[in-house]
A and B are shown apart, each in its own frame.
Chain A
Amino acid sequence: MYGLFLRHFYLITRSFPRILDLIYWPSIQITLWGFISNFFASHTTYYNNAVGVILTCAILYDFLFRTSIGFNMLFLEEIWSRNFTNLFIAPMKISEILTSLIFTALVRALIGLIPAVLLTSPLFGISILELGIYLFFLFLSLYIFGITLGILVSAGLLRFGPSFENIAWSTMFLLAPFGCIYYPIEILPEIFQKIAYMLPLVYIFEEARNILINNTVDISNLIQAYMLNMVYIIISITLFFYSFNKARDKGTLINIGE
């Protein structure tokens, strides 16, 4: 029994991502649900059409989640199947690998999204299409951010190896409290608001609620989201190339592959 305990204890203590994983899941859950509870307790009349707005935001968030996780899954799949080396010795540029994964992640996310969108109408009498043409821009913005997170996590996997895997699963949950998916940014403490304003998510979900609740469109929210998206995706792609070069230097590509 002690041997089995030690087997897992050694595993945990030798891996910083695993320690981080243990600590921050409960913290994130408490934080996210704390903010949601606070908001509903103090703003009972905010959502006149609560189900529609919450469900729309849930679908938007799920699309973001699926895009990001989908991208990471494609990368992890190659590690798990021990096909990683085969992929990186094929005559493909890194940019071609990224483009291929970005496109495949979109297809995966859409396969999950379309049934969910279709189900909301007969089950709850709600159509996400009420967001109109702006729905496309909101989805596109979320897609870019999801891909950005996917590339960032994949850069970590390249650089640090499979132990970075746990981070892949948890990035979205880490950002969820700051994304203000179900509540306006004002509900957050000031310091958290400053962090949230640095993420495109706030502007995307703020705009989704604005369209559904106030029936108005604030283009500045979309512009702000796209500008931040551009900054983050450039950073993530740069980091991916940097990680690839570092992995070639440190030998991680060989270690992951085997």
Chain B
Amino acid sequence: MKTLVEVQNLKKNYGDKQAVKSISFKINENEILGLLGPNGSGKTTTIGMMLGLLKPTSGEILIEGDKIEDDRIKILQKINFISPYIELPKKLTVKQNLIVFGKLYKIKNLNDRIDYLTSKLRLSDILNRITGELSSGQKNRASLAKSLINDPKVLLLDEPTASLDPEIGDFIRSFLEDYKKEKKISILLASHNMNEVTRLCKSILMMKDGIIVDSGSPASLIEKHGRKNLEEVFLKLSRRSNEHN
């Protein structure tokens, strides 16, 4: 299977503080890799470096063999990101936002792309509504449409279903599963929702204090640590690391 993302010995220091300490991993096409870890474990820093928002202290990030530090613009063309902590401009309608980002990503046949995404994400009825006036679930779907506007090969998701009701959360998870299968994209999913991670991810990286403390499939991690579910594994690894500190 083709590897789309390759992270090699990635480090990030802020002064004396080591936020990420030499991590390496790969994401294949048609794969969702879960990135788990307590707050401050280095997940956001890792995603920031993959998006070119942060300069790694050392190490490399390759997307389809291209290094982000060498060709940031080329890589940003085939990657995208969604997080509940960033929003689309509130005063614009959903359609205006999608047009703006479509232009920023230089999308050909933009109207067709918008039509495709709006029908898939049930946005047709709210396309001409002001983004700031939408509900959390509607905003989330609009942001997801923005993150797919460039038909990305790599999608980075930071808590994609945080603060959503169970129905919308389930819709988003189903959509992501179907979209990944259809487009064979690579997805990196950072989440604190263990059920979501168990459902979507074939493999998981567990981070703590800037290092990968364990990895494997949800089932193998549960078995290895002798726990009932992934949440218990998460708690065990987080607490064990704390005791070591």
Contacts and interface: CB of A to CB of B under 8 A. Distances in A.
Given A81-B90, A82-B86, A258-B85, A249 B55 contact: yes
A89 interface: yes
Contacts of A250: 14
Given A92-B73, A248-B55, A249-B55, A85 B86 contact: yes
Contacts of B91: 81
A257 B88 CA distance: 12
Most buried by A among B14, B53, B85: B53
A253 interface: yes
Nearest to B86: A85
B147 to A, nearest CB: 9
A251 B48 contact: yes
Given A86-B101, A91-B104, A93-B73, A254 B44 contact: yes
Contacts of B101: 86, 90
A84 interface: yes
Interface residues of A, number: 24
A136 interface: no
Given A92-B73, A257-B85, A258-B85, A85 B104 contact: no
A248 B54 contact: yes
A245 interface: yes
A255 to B, nearest CB: 10
B73 A91 contact: yes
A251 B104 contact: no
Interface stretch (B33-41, B76-84, B118-126, B195-203): B76-84
Contacts of A85: 51, 53, 81, 83, 86
A89 B14 contact: no
Nearest to A80: B90
B87 interface: yes
A254 B77 contact: no
Contacts of B79: 89
Contacts of B74: 91
A88 interface: yes
B45 interface: yes
A75 to B, nearest CB: 13
Contact of A90 (B48, B76, B90): B76
Contacts of B104: 87, 90-92
A251 B86 CA distance: 16
Given A81-B90, A251-B14, A88 B73 contact: no
A93 B76 CA distance: 11
B85 A82 contact: yes
Interface in B193-238: none
A83 interface: yes
Contacts of A257: 53, 85-86
B146 interface: yes
Nearest to A249: B55
A90 B94 CA distance: 18
B54 A89 contact: no
A248 to B, nearest CB: 4
Contacts of B45: 251, 254
Given A83-B86, A90-B101, A91-B104, A253 B53 contact: yes
B85 A89 contact: no
B236 to A, nearest CB: 29
Interface of A: 77-78, 81-93, 245, 248-251, 253-254, 257-258
Given A86-B146, A253-B54, 12 more contacts: A83-B86, A85-B51, A86-B86, A88-B52, A88-B53, A89-B53, A89-B79, A91-B76, A91-B77, A91-B106, A254-B48, A254-B53
